[in-house]
Amino acid sequence: DTAVSQTPKYLVTQMGNDKSIKCEQNLGHDTMYWYKQDSKKFLKIMFSYNNKELIINETVPNRFSPKSPDKAHLNLHINSLELGDSAVYFCASSQIQSYNEQFFGPGTRLTVL
Amino acid sequence: RKEVEQDPGPFNVPEGATVAFNCTYSNSASQSFFWYRQDCRKEPKLLMSVYSSGNEDGRFTAQLNRASQYISLLIRDSKLSDSATYLCVVNVNTGNQFYFGTGTSLTVIP
């Protein structure tokens, strides 16, 4: 009964490859997010989607493209992977309301060689 | 300037000690405030929300000072299981813009 699930949990790939990370939430939330946590543990928002529409697109290279087929899913596709993309990527979801708790997925640890 | 600033620590305290973490935020339009906890190699999880009047949950007390744009977390009677990274989180536009601090590392020593 995982609330927010991500696959894969680990991803090791070569520079230049294209990869996707999938995220699903079964909480009925209307907003989903992607965060990147780098080696210094800083958690930075990348994208926010509300009811399948992009709300926030922080300064992220356009090699990163989120896709939301429905409000329960938010996938992240990354083209032409670079060494600096190595990090842990967290998906999260919440309802849009004041003092809304964000629920995070377990994270995907991406290593680019 | 970062949206949210925290002292990264580390804080190493003995069991039973009281420890306090502080956090400042830069955007006066911030609306909601939280403390999240992140264990090593795990996802962040909500510890508690921080309300204007201050709030307490067992051994944990959170305070908000809007005038100084400052949030605090006090942990009393520290347990070994409190060892984790504590993240200060600020929500600027309801539901959309969450900003995380870099986290404060706490280790409780037997």
Report pLDDT digits (tens) over B3-17.
899 988 899 999 999
**pLDDT beyond 60 at B95:** no
Please compute the mean of the pLDDT values over residues B36-58 and round it to a whole number: 94
Residue of chain A whose alpha carbon sits nearest to that of B50? A99
Q: Is the pLDDT of residue B74 over 90?
A: yes
The pLDDT, as a whole number, for residue B94 is 58
* pLDDT of B47 higher than 80: yes
Taking one residue from A and the other from B, the number of pairs with CB-CB distance under 8 angstroms is 60
Q: Mark yes or no for CB contact A40/B32 under 8 Å.
A: no
Question: Residue A105 in contact with residue A4, Cβ under 8 Å?
Answer: yes
CA B77 from centroid of its chain's CA atoms:
17
Q: Round to whole Å and give the CA distance between A48 and A65.
A: 12
CB A42 to CB B102 under 8 A?
Answer: yes
Q: Cα–Cα distance between B110 and B97 in angstroms, integer?
A: 39
Nearest to B38 by CA among B91, B82, B96, B92: B82
pLDDT tens-place string over residues A25-79: 999 998 999 999 988 788 888 988 888 778 777 778 999 999 999 989 999 999 9
Of B46, B96, B103, nearest to A101 by CB-CB distance is B46
**Cα dist from A100 to A38, A93, B14, B74, B90, whole Å:** 25, 10, 34, 22, 11
Q: Among A13-17, A35-39, A96-100, A101-105, which is the least confidently predicted range?
A: A96-100
